[in-house]
Amino acid sequence: MAGGAPFPIPTGSVLALAAILFCIGLYGALTKRNLIIVLVSIELMLNAANINLVAFSKLSDKPSLNGQIFSLFTITVAAAEIAVGLALLLAIFRLRKTSEVKDLDVHKW
C-alpha cells in the first residue's frame, strides 16, 4: 500500500487532460488543410502522450524517473521529426508552389 500524504492531483484528471488534448490533435491532423498545421497537430498528440509519461512517473504506486527520461527521448525525436518534416515541406513548396495537404495526391489512382 502506498504511503505518505495523498498527492493533491488525481490521476484520472491528468489522464483525461491528455486524452482530450490527444483527440483535439487528432481532429486537427485529420481536417486542417495547411501542412504546417497538420504537423503542429501531430506535435499536440505527442505532447498528450508526454503528459501521460510524466504523470505516471509521479502518480504510479512505484514512482521512478523512467517516465521522465522517456518523455525526454520523445521530445528529442519530435524535434528531429519536425526538422525533417519542415524541410520536406519547404522542398514540396518549392516544387509544387503549395502547402496544402489536398494538393499532395501523387499517389492517386
By CB under 8 A, what part of segment 84-103 binds another protein? 84, 86-91, 93-95, 98-102
Q: How many residues bind another protein, per CB under 8 A?
A: 90
Percent composition of the chain: helix, strand, coil (DSSP 3-state, to 5): 75, 0, 25
Q: How many CB atoms lie within 10 A of CB 67?
A: 19
Q: Least CB distance from residue 96 to another protein, whole Å?
A: 11
- Rounded to whole angstroms, the Cα distance separating 58 from 69 reads 12
Instruction: List binders of another protein among 49-88 (CB under 8 A).
Output: 50-51, 54-55, 57-66, 68-69, 71-73, 75-84, 86-88
